Structure 1
Amino acid sequence: MIRYSAKRLARSMLTLFIIITVVFSLLRLMPVEGYFQNYEKMNDAQIQNGLRQLGLLDPLPVQLMNFYKQVLHGDLGVSNIYRMNVPITQIVAEKAPVSMMMGGMALCISLLLGLPMGAAMARGKGKWFDKIGTGFVVLVQAVPSAVYYLVIQLYGTQIPGFPLPMLFRMDNPLSWILPTFSLAIGNIAYYAMWLRRFMVDESNKDYVMLARAKGVSSKKIMSGHVFRNAFVPLVQYLPTSFLITLMGSIYVESLYSVPGMGGLLVDVIQRQDNTVVQALVLIYAAISILGLLIGDILMAVVDPRISLNKKEGAR
């Protein structure tokens, strides 16, 4: 386990290094307007002086090395446009709690609804609930998320007592319902779909047929054996969805004007604040890679039969 974890961690760090290097290099090809708040009022001498102070006139390898030195010291730089000269770590610290609260609630809803739904669909395979659940899953998977986000917003805000989307407030619980449900609905369908598939696959295995031949009740077989074994491969994807959901959805937060990480990324891209963009890309990339790493390790912890030191255990 330790050897595999160290190997996966090394691969993850290499992947993160490649992602950040590519993004860093591409951002250096962007117009320099993204580094100055009053670019249109500056002359050429002022622009060149500003670029020199920011170290943007150095060779690209030197710039990249300086950036990684800052990151290792916990310094992601400062905002040049969004909030001039404010440390990016301070901006993220203000935005992240909102996304984490909403993402945490959305994830709880997803697990509380998606897992029982998938289990019920598997137990009643081919029956009316399975057909309704399958229709729901197909609809959510087939329709672009932006479409049903807009539908939820359109009809949800017509419910008496619900605030308009632009009136999101931290202290108003009703204003949390629609964006939280919008975040949760995709994961509900995802968990239900895969848990049903894994449980159906497990139901056809020899040990289940043997248990039925011995007279073990179907309820005990499904809850005590099939569900537990079917949940193992699903565990691998929980950390990734957990961490990404906690950081918020870019589209949902922008749609409901939620002051979180997702809305921040859209805002800084629109304003072309390049330093904040590269910092947020670093954060999101690190979260995604960390989720994959934890998922692989967690799967082995849940099922000791899995040996991650073998070649077939690695991805």
Structure 2
Amino acid sequence: MSRYIIKRVGYMLLTLWIITTLTFFLMHSIPGDPLAHMAKNLPEQIKINYYKKYGLDQPVLVQYGKFMKNILTEGNLGESLRYPGRSVTNTILKNAKVSGRLGLQAIAIGVTIGITLGIVAALNRNKWPDYLVMFIAILGVTVPMFIIAALLQYVFTVKFELLPTTGWGKFKHTILPTAAMCLGSIATYGRYMRSNVLEVINQDYILTAQAKGVTPFNVVRKHVLRNAILPAITILGPQIAGVFTGSFVIERIFGIPGLGFYYINSINDRDFTMIIGTTVFYAALFVVSQLVVDLLYGVVDPRIRVSKNSR
């Protein structure tokens, strides 16, 4: 198992290097000068000093070499072009905590409720609980996140004045953003679990357990859930990355100082270092979540193990 993990980590590092390299050269291939707008009214010598400070006076390959060296030796992603003196790495670490809190809350709630609703719908096929769950799933898939966020703001802040519209700092500020973000996860896991449970409950070992007098609760807990949840775990990795990247809109709507706020601003300001840094962070989040999903397979189902040939 250790050899398998080391091999996967190697692939992860290779993937991150490719993404970092492509992002770096794509950003530098965009026509125009990232500092032209900021330094247009400055004296010529100060402009030269700015370009020298950020290394923009050197060939792209030299800039790339220094950039990769700083990442590998110091973990340094450089300074923001828009906000001189502000470290990209520190900005990501600081604001990712905000996005991470929202993302983890949304995933935890979405997975728990989605799995529960999917099981309930499957066990009550073609009955009103099944129709209700499928209706929720359709809403979660078809209605855009910003529409849900605006509706929640109107109902709970304008109509009834129960929760704050914007802001950050207390738990009450996370309730509406989390609710808006987790509906998609609820819908996705609800549909997956419904179809998986319907497939599992018709298997022979389920019928055998029922014939032996095992209670319905234990049948679901010991046999149905463990086998039906495996395909659903597959989408956990993309869901983690999707919740983080999907938080861009939510952070804008609710005025949350998360990483998405800086990512959008960096695109508008052509802040190359911030764009590259946040892109690398999201890529790392995605590949790490995929590794976690692979390891969860063995935890959920002990029969799944990495054979010697696959190592």
Q: Work out whether residues 248 and 261 of structure 1, in 8 Å CA contact, stay in contact via their aligned partners in 2.
A: no
Alignment of 1:251-290 (within 5 A): 251-290=249-288
Residue equivalent to 1:169: 168
Unmatched runs of 5 consecutive residues or more in structure 2? none
Residues 214, 142 of structure 1: alpha-carbon distance in 2 compared, 3 angstrom cutoff? same
Query: Alpha-carbon deviation of 1:135?
Result: 1.4
Note the C-alpha offset of 1:16: 1.3
CA distance in 1, matches of 2:176, 2:302: 40
CA contact (8 A) 2:157 2:164 kept: yes
Q: Could you tell me whether the CA contact under 8 Å between 1:79 and 1:86 is conserved in 2?
A: yes
Please list the CA deviations of residues 223-247 of structure 1 after superposition, one character each: whole Å capped at 9, or x if unmatched: 2210122123333443553466468
Deviations 1:118-162 (A, max 9, x none): 121121122110111011102211233333333333434323224
The alignment yields a C-alpha RMSD, in angstroms, of 2.6
Change (3 A) 1:36 1:293: farther
Tell me which residue corresponds to 1:123: 123
Alignment-derived partner of residue 77 in structure 1: 78
The answer as to whether partners of 1:111 and 1:191 remain within 8 angstroms in 2 is yes
Shift of 1:163: 5.3
Helix, strand or coil at the partner of 2:61: helix
Mean CA deviation greater in 115-124 or 25-34: 25-34
Counterpart residue identity of residue 222, structure 2: G
The equivalent residue for 2:228 is 230
1:40 corresponds in structure 2 to: 40
Partner of 1:221: 219
Seq. identity, %: 29
Whole-angstrom distance in 1 between the partners of 2:30 and 2:152: 36
For the 8 Å contact 2:168–2:257, the answer to whether it is kept is no
Moved more, 99-108 or 284-293: 99-108
Instruction: Give the corresponding residue for 1:294.
Output: 292
Give the letter for the 1:8 counterpart.
Answer: R
CA distance in 1, matches of 2:168, 2:248: 18
SS in 1 for 2:80: coil
Counterpart of 2:209 in structure 1 is 211
Q: TM-score, normalised by structure 2?
A: 0.88
User: Which among 276, 301, 304 is matched to residue 303 of structure 1?
Assistant: 301
Question: Structure 1: which 5+ residue stretches go unaligned?
Answer: none
Contact kept? 2:156, 2:163, Cα under 8 Å: no
Q: Which residue of 1 aligns with 2:96?
A: 96
Farther off after superposition, 63-72 or 26-35: 26-35
- Give the match for residue 191 of structure 1: 189
- 1:4-153 mapped onto 2 (5 Å cutoff): 4-31=4-31, 33-35=33-35, 38-42=38-42, 46-47=46-47, 49-72=49-72, 73-81=74-82, 83-153=83-153
| Structure 1 residue 282: Cα displacement | 0.7
Aligned residue number for residue 155 of structure 1: 155
- Which residue identity lines up with residue 111 of structure 1 in the other structure? V
Tell me the CA shift for residue 271 of structure 1: 2.0
Q: 1:76 to 1:251 in 2, by over 3 A?
A: same
Aligned-pair CA distance for 1:283: 0.6
1:169-208: per-residue Cα shift (whole Å, max 9, x none)? 314x433221111111111112222122221111121211
Give the match's secondary structure for 1:249: helix
Contact 2:56/2:63 (CA < 8 Å) preserved in 1? yes
Give the Å deviation of 1:48. Answer: 5.0
CA shift in 2, pair 1:163/1:34, >3 Å: farther
Equivalent residue of 1:8, what SS?
Answer: helix
With over 3 angstroms needed to count, the CA separation of the structure-2 counterparts of 1:303 and 1:186, relative to structure 1, is same
